[in-house]
Chain A
């Protein structure tokens, strides 16, 4: 998989899933990894007596922010600017790419454009396919997050928002490193396969970049409106390197990343690491405010930019029923908990946002023009909602988006080409009348006759169904309808009872009912 995950061109979920289900190594890797993270999460969540209160607090913070998003964004802009940062506004992905490319070009010494940048893991920059745009402008982006480095060197795509290389195992990673890592004076061909060996190789490979490259691009976990600060949490320290060593730092963030107060981090930085990686606290928590204005020396970059990107987020905000999608703090817990994701891994979702959150976020980022199969990529089991640290009712949003898809499919003449829409609308009419329902039950018994076979015990079974119903009989049999419906039995029994009451005289009829 070297093609970028682009919802505009990706195959339908069920088509992509079918292919991925055939990759037994990938399924083994995904199942193992999700299970390990889930177990760790359950342990550290279990030790918090106030976890449900924290979730509620997290939800309220995010809900409040979204209701006053304009206010907090402007407050962030003011405070970040006052601290020496430069804030840029991007309407969409194209806008954001253009701004970042221009900023990178302008960041070189003596007016020369740099040819390289170092990057911190950022799903927002994946969302807008920033690396491709940089490459087109003659700028190579080095991913410095270990998992992102694996993806980049393997010409692969992220399959998880927290653990992008979750679908690869250790020996696959060793092979990628051996094949792709090139560094003058270092021989990666005899690379060992332990985690230490691999981390060592990555360290050697990346240190050289950290010390050489003067421009960094990052995302953001949170933007604090009250102080104009930006927060990034990570596990490796490579992010900290990118945040402190370069001369110029450019942070790209969706407008949904803002939070009102510094104190809100108290809640969110408890929820995020426990939900994401099953850690009590992230190993590296970086929070910075503008630039160090000391004329000589001082820490961190001399120039700092924040690109605030909309890219359909205000559309989501405008929809009251799915607005909660924007509460997401990108912990990935819903992905690990999802039984669908556990089977297919992330690539089936055709988007950098996979799993349940991807199934609601991606179609909305596409303003419902693409990825219409994603809201259906769920059994609505509710495991995602149960683990979500900010209580996004993902099943409810999925259903809401399904309704939008159905409205598209049943508008005008579209309906004629869609047997499912016709069938469901017809069934709905059946349920609107008891008499029609009874007739349909009788007709169903007749219609299934030609399909039924009797088993050894004389019970009828169907092992093949036509058309879209054939999905059922791929792996399951269906028992034929019993000769009598429940309501027929109940009425008959009532008549018998009434008959007996008439002959026996009134009284003790009820207990003889059966």
Chain B
């Protein structure tokens, strides 16, 4: 399949390794990965913070870049949720019938990375090897909006060598919430410290998930506390192979 990768603005800038891992996994599975060069941001930060006028051009840009894609894959639950939850409403509000139709036609082809593997391709074992103790953080958007369920866990369970241990407060928000982490820094920190306790109680070496924004927030505190536990995107685990460099 010809897969168009929507890397998202923050993964592009801050987490290129995640993007590389997505490419590796998809190519290993025999798919072709394309990267529409004009892509930037889905508009989530602006939309969710109340800057709706500013988010509109980003919807148009996304549609322009990806309208011809066979499948769009993105390694970010919150960005994909943004598109599925809000793009139809945005197009509606712009009163642009053509855009509305294009959004409606495009969205069923937009997948979050783990969702693409489990739901679209029907895979669990993608041939990965990762000999570490790992716990999984279910991001709220993946859990409640995209309804990923135990899809990511199925992928992880199939990884060779992995010592997967479930976190106690799986369904609880880590306190990131985009600009919430800055606007309500104290409450966000309080929520984070509960999540951190959950992570540390698993005695995992790494905490994984399908959204680097949550992982950046959790990982930032794991580093501040010098816990030695590292955040790692699910794609990077799935990209690791036996005998490989990673």
Q: Which residues of B contact A177 (CB under 8 A)?
A: none
CB-based nearest B residue for A437: B40
B121 interface hit (Cβ, 8 Å): no
- Provide the main secondary structure of the chain B interface: helix
CB-based nearest A residue for B27: A513
The answer to whether B144 touches A339 (Cβ under 8 A) is no
Which positions 6-63 of chain B face chain A at CB distance < 8 Å?
A: 7, 9, 11-20, 23-24, 27, 32, 35, 37-41, 43, 45-52, 54-55, 57-58, 61
Contact residue range for chain B?
35 or more
The answer to whether A378 touches B54 (Cβ under 8 A) is no
A140 interface hit (Cβ, 8 Å): no
A287 interface hit (Cβ, 8 Å): no
When A406-B49, A424-B54, A485-B12 are in contact, do A432 and B61 touch as well, CB less than 8 Å?
Answer: yes
Q: Out of B9, B23, B179, B180, which one reaches A513, CB within 8 Å?
A: B23
The answer to whether B51 touches A425 (Cβ under 8 A) is yes
A296 interface hit (Cβ, 8 Å): no
The answer to whether B185 touches A434 (Cβ under 8 A) is no
* Interface size counted on chain A using CB atoms at 8 A: 66
Task: Tell me the bound Cα distance from A482 to B12 in angstroms.
Answer: 10
Of the stretches A12-20, A55-63, A83-91, A157-165, the one at the interface is A12-20
Task: Tell me the bound Cα distance from A5 to B172 in angstroms.
Answer: 29
B186 interface hit (Cβ, 8 Å): yes
The answer to whether B51 touches A406 (Cβ under 8 A) is yes
Q: Which residues of A contact B61 (CB under 8 A)?
A: 431-432
Interface 0/1 of A479-495, CB less than 8 Å to B: 10110111111110000
B201 interface hit (Cβ, 8 Å): no
Task: Tell me the bound Cα distance from A24 to B220 in angstroms.
Answer: 25
When A434-B37, A486-B12, A513-B27 are in contact, do A472 and B182 touch as well, CB less than 8 Å?
Answer: yes
CB-based nearest A residue for B85: A396
The answer to whether B58 touches A432 (Cβ under 8 A) is yes
The winner among A339, A375, A430 for most chain B CB atoms within 10 A is: A339
Q: In the complex, how many angstroms separate the beta carbon of A345 from the nearest chain B beta carbon?
A: 11
Q: Out of A339, A434, A491, which one reaches B172, CB within 8 Å?
A: A339
A376 interface hit (Cβ, 8 Å): yes
Task: Tell me the bound Cα distance from A463 to B225 in angstroms.
Answer: 12
The answer to whether A490 touches B51 (Cβ under 8 A) is no
Of the stretches B100-108, B110-118, B189-197, the one at the interface is B189-197
The answer to whether A463 touches B224 (Cβ under 8 A) is yes
A377 interface hit (Cβ, 8 Å): yes
Q: Out of A17, A344, A424, A474, which one reaches B51, CB within 8 Å?
A: A424
A454 interface hit (Cβ, 8 Å): no
Not counting A382-B145, A383-B140, a sample of 10 additional A-B residue pairs whose C-beta atoms are within 8 angstroms of each other reads A376-B184, A379-B173, A379-B177, A381-B140, A382-B140, A424-B46, A430-B40, A475-B221, A486-B16, A487-B12
Chain B: residues with CB nearer than 8 A to chain A?
A: 7, 9, 11-20, 23-24, 27, 32, 35, 37-41, 43, 45-52, 54-55, 57-58, 61, 85, 140-141, 144-145, 171-173, 175-193, 216-217, 219-221, 223-224
Chain A: residues with CB nearer than 8 A to chain B?
A: 13-14, 17-18, 21, 339-340, 343-344, 375-383, 385-386, 396, 399, 401-406, 424-425, 427-428, 430-434, 437, 441, 444, 461, 463, 468-469, 471-472, 474-479, 481-482, 484-491, 510-511, 513-514
